[in-house]
Amino acid sequence: MKLLKDQVVWITGASSGIGEALAREMSAKGAKLILSSRRIAELERVKNSCDHPEHIHILPLDLTDSAGLEAKVATSIALFGHIDMMVHNGGVSQRAIVAETDIAVHREVMELNYFSYIILTKALLPHFIERRSGYFVVTSSVMGKIGTPMRAAYAASKHALHGYFDSLRAEVYQYGIKVTILTPGYIHTPIAVISGDGSFLSNKSEQINGGLSADKAAGQIIKAIQNETYEPFIGKFIGEERLALFVKRFLPGLFTRLIPRFGMPK
């Protein structure tokens, strides 16, 4: 995977944000792309903004349609005859304290951020095993490594991804299949944010609005893929989220004392 030229890459959540930026970067490097999300018009816009739209297929996909996801894998493989890389990128964020978050919201966030990835992965895995090659690139979050106030449902869904894909990496190593779990910090994207009662919030946090641009994030992700990095941090070189990862890893007691005061979204 040192080069992306002629690699067939399937990207979910490709209609905006990191997915859109990755599509442009990968197309510029000669990859053949399958772009998926619910918003067909936006996928067409992204396709037409890429350097090589003639090497891009659009595959509409609703990650909340659990029953229909497995069939989409067969359709995606048929588009180019095979798939080299699956980029799991669709998802939703969440902001509410635990006491005010409905159980239905926890289920909704887990269904979209975790179970959709697992269903697609399990359905695609036999194809990778048969070819003895393949690459899963998984968009997790710094919240997959730490927990902060008002992010319980989101953090839980991202923590689950690390457990699953770490285990998968160990199982499929013998087949030459790679797994990279991306841990982005604050990235300036239009990600949907769900509240405790299930409604969507119109305002993003100051941290997201001031985060790394999606284009720069895509550049870091491409480098991580080319280096086959297991769990790269994606974000600003100097930022509170990178510091939080360091403190949680090496000074967990200090992290626990500080996070109630400094971990609230602004």
Q: Which tokens in the block code for residue 189? A: 């994207």
Is 117 an active-site residue?
A: no
| Residues in a beta bridge with 181 | 138
Active-site hit among 114, 117, 135, 154: 154
Would you give the DSSP letter of residue 134?
Answer: E
Instruction: Tell me how crowded residue 107 is: count the other CB atoms within 10 A of its CB.
Output: 12
Burial class (CB in 10 A: 0-12, 13-18, 19+), 96: buried
Helix axes 214-226, 17-28, angle to 10 degrees: 60
- HSE of 234, CA atoms in CB hemisphere, 13 A: 30
Over residues 119-175, the pLDDT tens digits come to 999 999 999 999 999 999 999 999 999 999 999 999 999 999 999 999 999 999 999
Q: 127 near 135, Cβ under 8 Å?
A: no
Over residues 6-60, the pLDDT tens digits come to 999 999 999 999 999 999 999 999 999 999 999 999 999 999 999 999 999 999 9
pLDDT bin (cut points 50, 70, 90) of residue 266 is low
What was the pLDDT predicted at 194? 94
CA angle 224, 229, 235 (to 5 degrees): 50
Of residues 57, 106, 104, 109, the one with CA closest to residue 83: 57
Average pLDDT, the chain: 94
CA angle 234, 133, 61 (to 5 degrees): 60
What was the pLDDT predicted at 204? 66
pLDDT bin (cut points 50, 70, 90) of residue 264 is low
What was the pLDDT predicted at 2? 58
Phi-psi region of 173 (alpha: psi -120 to 50; beta: other; left: phi over 0): alpha
Full-model pTM: 0.94
Please state the rounded mean pLDDT for residues 88-93: 95
What was the pLDDT predicted at 213? 95
Would you give the DSSP letter of residue 12?
Answer: E
Q: Which tokens in the block code for residue 81? A: 């005859």
